[in-house]
Amino acid sequence: MELEVMNISGQGTGKKVKLSEEIFGIEPNDHAIYLDVKQLMARRRQGTSKAKERGEVAGSTRKIKRQKGTGTARFGDIKNPLFRGGGRVFGPRPRNYGGKLNRKVKELARKSALTYKLQNNQVMVVEDFTFDAPKTGEFANIQKNLKIDDKKSLFVMNERNKNIYLSSRNLQNSKVLTLSELNTYEIMNATALCFVESSLDVLQKNA
């Protein structure tokens, strides 16, 4: 399939880019997408929750009453989890929630997401552009010219451009990523996927 390259004014440049069937034309694998997104979201969890167990709570270790002859159950020290102020039983501990996922599964997930976006006509190619200084209004005009100002857009750059990033940062439904930062979650979360021409070339060469 071929897509016409657009300029930032929203007009066609006359150039066309052929999309690789190995990236944009595979049989999508929903389970791979699920696994990749699940792992990414899990890795974003802080995992810093911590509760003190009875061995970590401050307090005396003496028995609070004699062991026999009271007619009631035996008790240990005041740090018993049954008492107010005692330790917690099996409380949360700091942990890493992110699991391992094979590289080929992650690649399959990303290609599946790109295929879905192309099938839904949510992929476009934009001519390379740059800003001399951060200009949010100018970036908003680009979105308006491309008719994606009412959509959740994702611009994929080949290299990080600080001015373009700062220009898009204050826009609610816009995001700018480099090719190395592109992941399955961001692709699926966008309703308008805009590849800068140079980034698409690199993506297809490295596939």
In tens digits, the chain (207 residues) has pLDDT values of 788 999 998 888 888 899 999 999 999 999 999 999 999 999 999 999 999 999 999 999 999 899 899 999 988 899 999 999 999 999 999 999 988 999 999 999 999 999 999 999 999 999 999 999 999 999 999 999 999 989 999 999 999 989 999 999 999 889 999 999 999 999 999 999 999 999 999 998 886
71 vs 97: CA distance, rounded Å: 47
Second-level CATH architecture of 2-46+101-205: 3-Layer(aba) Sandwich (3.40)
Neighbours of 162 (CB within 10 A): 9
Segments making up each domain of the chain, as ranges = 2-46+101-205, 51-91
Query: What's the whole-model pTM score?
Result: 0.82
179 vs 114: CA distance, rounded Å: 13
